[in-house]
Amino acid sequence: MQRKHLLSLIVILLIAVMALAACGGGQATEAPKQEKPAATEAPKATEAPKEEPKPTEAPKEEGVKPADEIVVYNWSDYVAPEMYDMFTEQTGIKISEDNFSSNEDLLAKLQGGATGYSVIVPSDYTVYIMIEEGMLEELNHDNIPNLKNLDPEFTKLYYDPGNKYCVPYLWGTTGVGYNTELLENPPKSWEQIFKAKESDPWYGRMTLLDDVREVFSAALIQLGYDNNTKDEAQLQEAKQLLIDAKKGLAGYDTDNYEDLVGAGENLLAHGWNGDFLQAADEYGNIDYYIPEEGGTIWIDNMCIPKGVSPEEKRAAEMYINFVLDPKVGDMLGEYNYYATPNKASLEIADPEYKSNPLVFPPEEIRAKLHFIKPLGEFESVYQRMWDEVKSAQ
């Protein structure tokens, strides 16, 4: 073979070998690509920045790799069903939930040293207490660009001005829900509830929330007092009212009260508007109202407990940012029948949701609603009286 032909043959062989190698190697590198979560292929607003800090740069917080998994410590039945899966699809971060039944339970659990929660959902006055006690991480607003979607009204809250520590989640009211099939004329007032007569159909077939501040608020409001009173005589009066009311109660319940009303086991219950309205969808026989003396109004918030790792904090901020997305906020509010503090969500919300007076109470009802406020040391007086109510025969 001539040298020229030999060279051509070698070149052809080389090209063929390289082409074969390219085919085989391509398959090997493509396979893991398919296993990546979809979100890594199409960046979304809830994703962590992908850029690694340059080796010479001091690591920035936004460069922190988010944790693979977070736990939200939340009230029960307080998300939209598909929310957590959506978050995982978008970010690759797994999410699970544990539940508490009252602000006091949440506070006691964290004060007792519980760890492992990346996001918690306390109400307004409890946020204030937690900030005072140094129990919350400061939020890095750079990691929560969707904060811009909040209604400005929710950025000036007394318990956390400027949302330094927490972001409002949903807000609602506390009143009375009743079974419309079994109770034609529900009691209009707290007085008819606390002073129920044996002849009243709801006697023995109603529950109060298992929640010290909510129950004392209802009693104090019925008596015409400030629901945050620090006057011990007024509080004693409220305590006695609650003790006398016990004979007409089926019990205290925070977890199933709306189902018991829907199922007809109880006729009415003290509880949260959205819980009753969700149950109304299921049972078709529940209505909700604020008794004529008034009720409470509250704002629940997403916060990060002190002591989480930087990775968990980063993932928690991604979750908070995700909830603040207009569509997610709308889905959350509409599914739960609680009011969203997200202005951008409201702009796209169903008109039926926005105009529901049981979700967004009109001015004449708003005027009768009172926030539960932090009371400092005096909180323990409420707790002592609550223990006395609970243990009274």
* Cα–Cα distance measured from residue 278 to residue 356, given in angstroms and rounded to the nearest whole number: 13
Q: Which is closer to ligand SPD, CB of 179 or CB of 278?
A: 278
Tell the smallest beta-carbon distance from residue 281 to ligand SPD (Å).
14
Q: Which is closer to ligand SPD, CB of 47 or CB of 226?
A: 226
Number of shown-chain residues binding ligand SPD (CB under 6 A):
10
Tell the smallest beta-carbon distance from residue 75 to ligand SPD (Å).
4
CB 116 within 8 A of CB 91: no
Stretch that binds ligand SPD, among 21-29, 71-79, 234-242, 375-383 (CB under 6 A): 71-79
Residue 77 touches ligand SPD, criterion: CB under 6 A: yes
Residue from 73, 283, 298, 353 in contact with ligand SPD (CB under 6 A): 298
Which helix (H) or strand (E) is 119 found in, with range?
strand 119-120
Q: Which is closer to ligand SPD, CB of 214 or CB of 334?
A: 214
Stretch that binds ligand SPD, among 72-80, 84-92, 195-203, 381-389 (CB under 6 A): 72-80
φ, ψ at 342 (rounded to 5°): -95, 115
Stretch that binds ligand SPD, among 6-14, 69-77, 105-113, 323-331 (CB under 6 A): 69-77
Residue 123 touches ligand SPD, criterion: CB under 6 A: yes
CB 390 within 8 A of CB 252: yes
Q: Which long-range contacts (CB under 8 A, 24 or more apart) does 326-333 make?
A: 326/149, 328/80, 328/83, 328/86, 329/149, 331/80, 331/82, 331/83, 332/79, 332/80, 332/83, 332/169, 332/170, 333/170, 333/359
Bridge partner residues of 119 (DSSP): 72
Q: Which is closer to ligand SPD, CB of 40 or CB of 76?
A: 76
CB 301 within 8 A of CB 169: yes
Tell the smallest beta-carbon distance from residue 333 to ligand SPD (Å).
13
Residue from 137, 160, 214, 325 in contact with ligand SPD (CB under 6 A): 214
Q: Which is closer to ligand SPD, CB of 103 or CB of 143?
A: 103
Residue 76 touches ligand SPD, criterion: CB under 6 A: yes
b/e string for 278-308 if b means 16 or more Cβ within 10 A?
bbbeebebbbbbbbebbbbbbbbbbbbbeeb
Residue 87 touches ligand SPD, criterion: CB under 6 A: no
Stretch that binds ligand SPD, among 74-82, 147-155, 240-248, 283-291 (CB under 6 A): 74-82
Q: Which is closer to ligand SPD, CB of 210 or CB of 275?
A: 275
Grouping H, G, I as helix, E, B as strand and the rest as coil, residue 201 is: coil
Q: Which is closer to ligand SPD, CB of 202 or CB of 272?
A: 272
Residue 311 touches ligand SPD, criterion: CB under 6 A: no
* Cα–Cα distance measured from residue 370 to residue 173, given in angstroms and rounded to the nearest whole number: 9
Q: In whole angstroms, what separates CA 73 from the centre of its chain? A: 9
Please choose, from the candidates 106, 107, 46, the residue with its C-alpha nearest in 3D space to the C-alpha of residue 322.
Answer: 46
Residue 159 touches ligand SPD, criterion: CB under 6 A: no
* Cα–Cα distance measured from residue 354 to residue 340, given in angstroms and rounded to the nearest whole number: 10
Stretch that binds ligand SPD, among 75-83, 105-113, 199-207, 262-270 (CB under 6 A): 75-83
Residue 272 touches ligand SPD, criterion: CB under 6 A: yes
> What amino acid occupies position 249?
L
Grouping H, G, I as helix, E, B as strand and the rest as coil, residue 300 is: strand
Residues binding ligand SPD (CB under 6 A):
75-78, 123, 214, 272, 275, 298, 300
